[in-house]
């Protein structure tokens, strides 16, 4: 159980910089079990899977038929992959933390993230600077994602970098390209990008980050596949907009802690 002062401090950090790292948030045996299951689902190619070739970010194969074309990027629908994954997605500690942060009950989105994010040494692509909310449709931009490291994460193996304070900035549309990536060759974006930090994570560490926080990741230059489990939550009063992809599947309200 986290002390109230540690919780308040972490929430203040999330509000101020748009992300916060919580060390050892998941227990070692949970992480080990989640990792083993993720590895099995990858090995057995259990669908639904999004392939690098589908996304075609820099470094990805050109098509599923090209060399490396069956490199997975995301094991989709983590919540639906069995009780172990479902338990983590609705974990009481995650729920309690988010309830304190939102000031109301959190709801798991089953549409956004909700995946095991993989990054393979060969054919794993890099991801440019972006805000996750760019393609999401909710009544308020107040969603928070929970990124659980299932192994070490560093810049060199494709660990996430974040730009502190970017969640609260009033960027203009012209600072982004047509896919809504934050332009890295625009002089006025340079001071923002220069502030980026790449927190080093160990298995069991969690990063909570706001849906407007700019983040990016490089390819994986290590010899090992990087695996992370990512879920997104919204406060109950922040609703997916009817008729949009965000509303295409029901969310899962997190039970209040006993
Ligand atoms: O692992 C990566 O390359 C970045 C993942 C990410 O930020 C995303 O898919 O939204």
For 88-147, write each residue's pLDDT tens digit.
Answer: 999 999 999 999 999 999 999 999 999 999 999 988 889 999 999 999 999 999 999 999
φ, ψ for residue 230 (rounded to 5)?
Answer: -130, 130
Q: Which atom of ligand 1 is nearest to the CA of 124?
A: 3
Could you tell me the maximum CA-CA distance found in the chain, to the nearest angstrom?
53
Closest CA to 124 of 36, 61, 203, 43: 61
- One pLDDT digit (tens) per residue for the chain, 258 residues: 678 888 999 999 999 999 999 999 999 999 999 999 999 999 999 999 999 999 888 888 889 999 888 899 999 999 999 999 999 999 999 999 999 999 999 999 999 999 999 999 988 889 999 999 999 999 999 999 999 999 999 999 999 999 999 999 999 999 999 999 999 999 999 999 999 999 999 999 999 999 999 999 999 999 999 999 999 999 999 999 999 999 999 999 998 766
From the alpha carbon of 217, which atom of ligand 1 is closest?
A: 3
Which atom of ligand 1 lies nearest, measured to the CA of 228?
A: 1
Exposure letters 127-150 (e unless 16+ CB within 10 A, then b): bbbbbbbeebebeeebbbbbbbbb
180 within 8 A of 166, measured Cβ to Cβ: no
Going through 103-143 in order, the beta strands assigned E by DSSP cover 106-109, 115-119, 127-130
**Beta-carbon neighbour count of residue 118 at 10 Å?**
24
Ligand 1 centre from 10 Cα, in Å? 23
Q: How many whole angstroms separate alpha carbon 83 and alpha carbon 87?
A: 6
Residues with CB under 6 A from ligand 1: 117, 119, 127, 132, 158, 215, 217
The residues pairing with 162 across neighbouring beta strands, listed in sequence order, are: 197, 215
Q: How far is the CA of 92 from the centre of ligand 1 (A)?
A: 25
> What is the β-pairing status of strands 115-119 and 252-253?
unpaired
Q: Whose CA is nearest to atom 7 of ligand 1?
A: 216
Does residue 3 contact residue 97 with C-beta atoms inside 8 Å?
no
What local confidence, expressed as pLDDT, does residue 242 receive? 97
Encoded tokens for 70: 């069956």
148 close to 206: Cβ distance less than 8 angstroms: yes
Q: Is 243 left (phi over 0), alpha (psi -120 to 50) or beta?
A: left
> What's the CA-to-centroid distance between 12 and ligand 1, angstroms?
24
**β-strand partners of 216:** 161
Contact 112, 136 (CB under 8 A): yes
């Amino acid at each position: 159980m986290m002390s109230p002062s540690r919780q308040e401090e972490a929430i203040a950090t999330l509000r101020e910089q748009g992300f916060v790292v919580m060390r050892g948030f998941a227990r070692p045996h949970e992480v080990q079990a989640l990792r083993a299951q993720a590895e099995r689902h990858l090995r057995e190619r259990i669908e639904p899977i999004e392939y690098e070739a589908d996304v075609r970010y820099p470094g990805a194969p050109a098509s599923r038929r090209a060399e490396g074309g069956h490199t997975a990027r995301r094991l989709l629908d983590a919540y639906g992959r069995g009780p172990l994954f479902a338990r983590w997605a609705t974990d009481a500690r995650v729920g309690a933390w988010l309830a304190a942060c939102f000031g109301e009950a959190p709801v798991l989105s089953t549409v956004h993230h909700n995946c095991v994010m993989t990054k393979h040494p060969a054919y794993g692509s890099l991801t440019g600077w972006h805000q996750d909310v760019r393609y999401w449709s909710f009544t308020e931009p107040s969603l928070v994602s929970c990124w659980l490291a299932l192994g070490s994460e560093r810049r060199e193996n494709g660990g996430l970098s974040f730009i502190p304070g970017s969640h609260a900035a009033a960027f203009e549309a012209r600072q982004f390209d047509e896919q809504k990536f934050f332009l890295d060759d625009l002089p006025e974006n340079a001071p923002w990008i220069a502030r980026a930090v790449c927190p080093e994570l160990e298995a069991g560490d969690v990063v909570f980050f706001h849906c407007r926080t700019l983040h990016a990741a490089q390819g994986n230059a290590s010899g090992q596949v990087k695996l992370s489990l990512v879920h997104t939550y919204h406060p109950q009063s922040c609703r997916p907009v009817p008729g949009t992809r965000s509303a295409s599947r029901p969310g899962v309200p997190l039970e209040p802690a006993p």
